Amino acid sequence: MNFETVKNRFDEVKSSKEVRTVHPKIQGVIIGLLDKACGSKENRYHFSIALGMAPHSKDWSVGEWYAVSQMVKVDKSADKWIASNPNFDSIVGAVMSQIGKNELQTSMFD
């Protein structure tokens, strides 16, 4: 999976006629899962900007929230919230690779 594929699909979903409102509790779960997957809140801001959104989630549109929710597909497993989209790690990895390494990311080979 590459960044262009992720970005094109994100834009397609956020503009879809099937856009639905994401419940505020689920929004919080999504942010927590993205922070963890991206490595930090600051990296999540870069993730958002790379996809063409405002850095802070309070400024995301209904369509953007819906598209992000489809990237993550929040589910509860054994009393723990998880990202159930099997491509979630690949999606985050493709976007983070596009952004480039920064001082807040941990290095795999240090």
Average pLDDT per 10 consecutive residues for the chain, totaling 110 residues: 94 95 96 96 96 97 97 92 95 91 50
Backbone φ, ψ for residue 74 (5° rounding): -60, 135
What SS3 class is residue 75?
strand
Which pLDDT belongs to residue 8? Answer: 96
CA quadruple 96, 61, 79, 41: dihedral sign: positive
Residue 110 pLDDT = 46
Tokens encoding 46: 């870069």
The pLDDT, as a whole number, for residue 99 is 87
54 and 48 Cβ atoms separated by less than 8 Å: yes
Angle, helices 88-99/24-38, rounded to nearest 10 degrees: 60
Strands 74-77 and 80-83: antiparallel
pLDDT recorded at residue 60: 98
Widest Cα–Cα separation across the chain: 45
